[in-house]
Copies of this chain bind each other. A is one copy, B any other.
Amino acid sequence: MASGEAPPGLIAAVEHAVFPAGARIRPHLCLAVAAACGDPTPALTDAAAAAIELLHCASLVHDDLPCFDDAATRRGRASVHFAYGESLAVLAGDALIVLAFQTLGAAAGKSPLRLPALLGTIAQGVGMPFGIVAGQAWECEPRVSLADYQRAKTGALFTAATVSGALAAGAPAEPWRALGEWLGEAYQVADDIRDVAADPSVIGKPTGQDAALCRPSSARELGLEGAIAHFNSLVQGAIDAIPSCRGEAQLRALVRMEAERLIPKELSEAVLKDARAKEVSQALA
């Protein structure tokens, strides 16, 4: 019945939120798990991966709003609210959440029996009580456990990615939960480290935000050196958590590659060198 297109501003804001792509680690993870399980329904897996990425993009658009981080840049260019205004940023986030579930439903025609669990798993990764929306809401509370916050803010969608990869492939899903949990925690710690130690032009967004916004941060809690050691142990935990399956070796390689992308060796070596220099100068003082 409608005669035209969607409002041009909304279309542009939604496209700006999704393209050009970020690292897309969550959908890659979902696809990799499905492939490792042997994937007879790649259309449904693709939709699950797309839904997860759309939800991630929605959360970035809303997190960047003036009432949260008020970030002017994201992925090396203007954030959505900076480019299109606050109203369209709110609506683009909403539209992306709806589009995620719509994408999932549209791909389920050939395997509808998998849809309820898949929908539930992905919704859990985003909503209340333990998904990314809840994680973001912990930033509005006077007291928060760092573990609960990180699990919800980041871990939940990683867990949704691994579990839904298995579900979309029709494989038992629970064995894949731990991998998502380890990776989610590693990713959050890496993000905290990069917020303290990285070059903003390399990561495409402002640094120093956790301290500026008084956000919980493992780099602030453990120190940079401690946070890097913690990151390395979480990556090892993720590797050890990969269930035995056909694609085990490829998955291990993927996790190692992603860890190196997040915290390059030069960065961790520079931090350790700096820490040793401080120890020496303290010993000499």
Interface residues of A (CB under 8 A from B): 1-11, 14, 58, 62, 65, 67-68, 85-88, 90-91, 93-95, 97-99, 101-102, 104-106, 108-109, 112-113, 115-116, 119-120, 123-124, 126-131, 133-134, 136-141, 144-145, 147-148, 151-152, 155, 181
Contacts and interface: CB of A to CB of B under 8 A. Distances in A.
Given A95-B127, A101-B119, 9 more contacts: A3-B147, A9-B137, A10-B134, A68-B90, A88-B137, A94-B133, A97-B97, A106-B120, A112-B113
A95 B131 CA distance: 9
A145 B5 CA distance: 11
Contacts of A65: 90
Contacts of A141: 7-9
A228 to B, nearest CB: 24
- Which secondary structure dominates chain A's binding surface? helix
Contacts of A2: 129-130, 148, 151-152
The interface centre, meaning the residue of A6, A119, A139, A147 with most chain B CB atoms within 10 A of its CB, is A6
Given A1-B181, A116-B108, A133 B91 contact: yes
A128 B99 contact: yes
B14 A128 contact: yes
A161 to B, nearest CB: 15
A6 B130 contact: yes
A67 B92 CA distance: 14
A259 B6 CA distance: 30
A102 B124 contact: yes
Contacts of A14: 128
A235 to B, nearest CB: 18
A207 to B, nearest CB: 22
Nearest to A144: B7
A83 to B, nearest CB: 13
Chain A to chain B: the 10 pairs with minimum beta-carbon distance, closest first: A6-B129, A98-B127, A105-B119, A102-B123, A10-B137, A67-B86, A7-B137, A2-B130, A101-B101, A6-B128
A94 B93 contact: yes
A115 to B, nearest CB: 5
A116 B106 contact: yes
Contacts of A112: 112-113, 115-116
A175 to B, nearest CB: 15
A140 to B, nearest CB: 5
A64 to B, nearest CB: 11
A140 B9 contact: yes
